[in-house]
Amino acid sequence: MSKTCIILSANTRSAQGRCDYQLITTGANSLAVVYRATLSNKDHLKLATDMTTDRYLRCCHLAYGAAAVSLLTIHLSFLVSVSQGYIDGCSPYWSDCSSISRSGRHGLAYFIFKGGMLPAALLLGLFWQLNRLWLGSLAADSAAGRYLPAVGWTASLALLIYTLALGHSGDTFYLLRRFGVVTFLGLSLIAFALLAGALRRSPLKWHGSLLGRGSAAILGLALISLVLDALLGDDYEQLENAFEWWLVLLLLVQLLWVARLWQLTAFTLTPHSRPRS
């Protein structure tokens, strides 16, 4: 077998405000990432792609798919549970309604939730793995960015544990669900913060700053939830479910934002091989 290597080349001409980056991973049955960008004076990205083959995968489709599958699964499970009478009709983003867990616990919604969230967990893991390559293509492969695959896959594993434990009774399954959801939300927020920090040292630093502010806002919402839990005690249960829905929604909005950046930067994977020497 031939060895796999990574070639990173950069050509900058600061006088014209132009930067070209190319990251290629070569070897047998390997992938290549090709990216070319032109910076304007306002640090906005204007793109030109140079595809050497018609066979390529637009990575933004995977990111959009991960967000769409997650959003569709939790909301469809909620609607099915309402239609089958397992929960009362209400707005999940308002107080005293239903948790995401309860929405996918009974009846047909049980199978919809598991059938949707299991592949969603895999897509989210791949999303964070690809972010490492994307940062490399932006010449922003910082130390923080190198932790993204590990943090992202751990978050996906936590989501997998939560999904498999959902719908089963007993203290053990309850602890697994709590561990899964808290770990998934916490590590996902950390991963977005790491990504934002890496983007600040790239041509997309303006978008990195906005992504960081979005992560800070989500963290603020989570802290407000903890404070209200401590202050209100049992009365907080009327608000807890709504906070859960909003936290998940905002994290998925962050994911959609990154997917859009992948699309704008023409982030693609293409089959590429080098003859054996």
pLDDT one-digit tens code per residue, 195-212? 998 888 878 888 888 888
- Collect all residues with Cβ–Cβ distance below 8 Å to 87 and sequence separation of at least 6: 78, 81, 97, 98, 102, 103
E strands, the chain, are: 5-13, 18-26, 30-33, 37-39, 45-47, 57-58, 268-272
pTM of the prediction? 0.75
Neighbours of 109 (CB within 10 A): 26
CA distance linking residue 231 with residue 265, whole number of Å: 46
**Phi, then psi, of 10 in degrees rounded to 5:** -140, 140
Contact 98, 87 (CB under 8 A): yes
**C-alpha angle with apex 59: 211 to 8, nearest 5 degrees?**
85
Is the per-residue pLDDT at 34 higher than 90?
Answer: no
What average pLDDT is seen over the chain? 78
CA distance linking residue 18 with residue 222, whole number of Å: 40
Q: Can you give the residue ranges of every domain in the chain?
A: 59-266
SS3 203: coil
Neighbours of 68 (CB within 10 A): 16
Pick the residue with more confidence: 45 or 168? 168
Pick the residue with more confidence: 164 or 12? 164
Contact 257, 17 (CB under 8 A): no
pLDDT in tens, 76-91: 999 999 999 999 888 8
Percent of the chain topping pLDDT 70: 75
Is the per-residue pLDDT at 21 higher than 70?
Answer: no
- Collect all residues with Cβ–Cβ distance below 8 Å to 12 and sequence separation of at least 6: 18, 19, 20
